[in-house]
Amino acid sequence: MSPTVASAAAALASGQLSTFQTEDIPLKILAHNCLVGRLIGKEGRNLKKIEEETGTRINISSLFEMAYCNPERTIVVKGTLDDCCRAEKEIMKKLREAYENDVAAIHQHAHLMPGMNLNTLGLLSGLPMLPAAPGPRGAVPPVPAAGYNPFMGHPSHLSSMYGVPSGSAISNQHSQQAPEQEVVYLFIPTQAVGALIGKKGQHIKHLAHFAGASIKIAPAENPDVHLRKVIITGTAEAQFKAQGRIFGKLKEENFFSPKEEVKLETHIKVPSSAAGRVIGKGGKTVTELQNLTSAEVIVPRDQTPDENDEVFVKISGHFYASQSAQRKIREIVQQVKLQEQKHQSSGTVSPHHAK
């Protein structure tokens, strides 16, 4: 028997436990990486508050300690037994709140990509939606609404995060013909570029593989720019995945406060002949777009079309608002193209819509 264990046994026998009661008892909690940023809070405020209120010291393992097959971070709480219990209660409350917010957002907008199973992709936060857990981990019960314990990870389900989507995740129309490649320009905070790229470029490589898209970060125009342009090229499905994970990454890494929605600006190009249709008569269509999607949609006037006779449409909003607006605008463009094809086939010239 070691000296420490022997002294503990002697203390137990004599009833003198005061020394051992005051010693720090480490408590370890595993949580998915996508939830940790909101636990920490902006500038570490949430974590500091829990430490101050419970009299504990809390450390979280580094991102670099994570393995590709294990997306969990280790939260280490040190303090007395009672203090650790109080801290654990507050930590689990924050984690559960973040998880439930993500689940609600995903279910609310499941209609955006018909045929894609968002529950298995976990797009917004990167959180894979697992089947019901056989039992809780530690003192955490499963979440009844989702039927799954959000704090449990399992390597066998990570293909839903970084792997190729299953056949059920691809709509029937995609199987009929090669889907059209779209180009989207997404603007992120300059300080978030490193987190998006990851150590030795690993994160952006995994993201591109997961989404099936080309993802490039444009060089900064000058050293003082606050936003950097991310150029994403891929199908509608690939755009949804790539943009979803980028929005989620900024949330995970705490570039926005826990209660603040991640809102980014996105630019897409449309034929100049379709710009007027996006605006609508007297701005009616663009106003309806904004009311319907909750995104800000702007078609800057007096634009000079590029070499492909295209102009920019600017979209600002949270992920699902931006996606809704992008899909609606693409639908309008598709309608204009079909009309132009009909006019050409009938031998008439399609009118150029005024902007």
C-alpha dihedral (340, 343, 347, 352), degrees to nearest 10:
-60
Average pLDDT over residues 89-114: 77
In percent, how much of the chain has pLDDT > 90?
Answer: 41
Is the pTM of the predicted complex or chain greater than 0.95?
Answer: no
- pLDDT of 19 > 50? The answer is no
Residue pLDDT, tens place only, 111-161:
666 555 554 444 444 443 333 333 333 333 333 333 333 333 333 332 332
Please tell me the least confidently modeled range out of 18-27, 40-49, 181-190: 18-27
Lay out the sheet containing 72-78: strands in order across: 27-32, 72-78, 57-60
* pLDDT at res. 169: 38
Residue pLDDT, tens place only, 323-340:
989 999 999 999 999 988
Q: For 188-207, give one letter per residue: b (16+ CB within 10 A) or e.
A: beeebeebbbbeeeebbebb
Q: Contact 187/230 with Cβ under 8 angstroms?
A: yes
* pLDDT at res. 171: 41
- Tell me if the domain spanning 176-345 has CATH number 3.40.718.10: no
Q: For 285-304, give one letter per residue: b (16+ CB within 10 A) or e.
A: bbeebbeebebbbebeeeee
Residue pLDDT, tens place only, 282-313:
999 999 999 888 899 999 988 999 999 999 99
* pLDDT at res. 260: 75
Query: Which residues are CB-contacts of 125 (< 8 A; sequence separation ≥ 6)?
Result: 34, 35, 98, 102, 248, 251, 252
- Both tokens of 354, joined, read 């005024």
Please tell me the least confidently modeled range out of 11-25, 28-42, 186-200, 325-339: 11-25
More confident residue, 106 or 312: 312
The answer to whether domain 18-109 and domain 176-345 are alike in fold is: no
CB atoms within 10 A of CB 133: 18
Average pLDDT over residues 246-251: 87
* pLDDT at res. 67: 59
Q: Place 106 in a pLDDT band, splitting at 50, 70 and 90.
A: low
Instruction: Read off the amino acid at residue 245.
Output: R
Q: Under CATH, domain 18-109 is a member of which superfamily? A: K Homology domain, type 1 (3.30.1370.10)
Question: How do the domains of the chain map onto residue ranges?
Answer: 18-109, 176-345
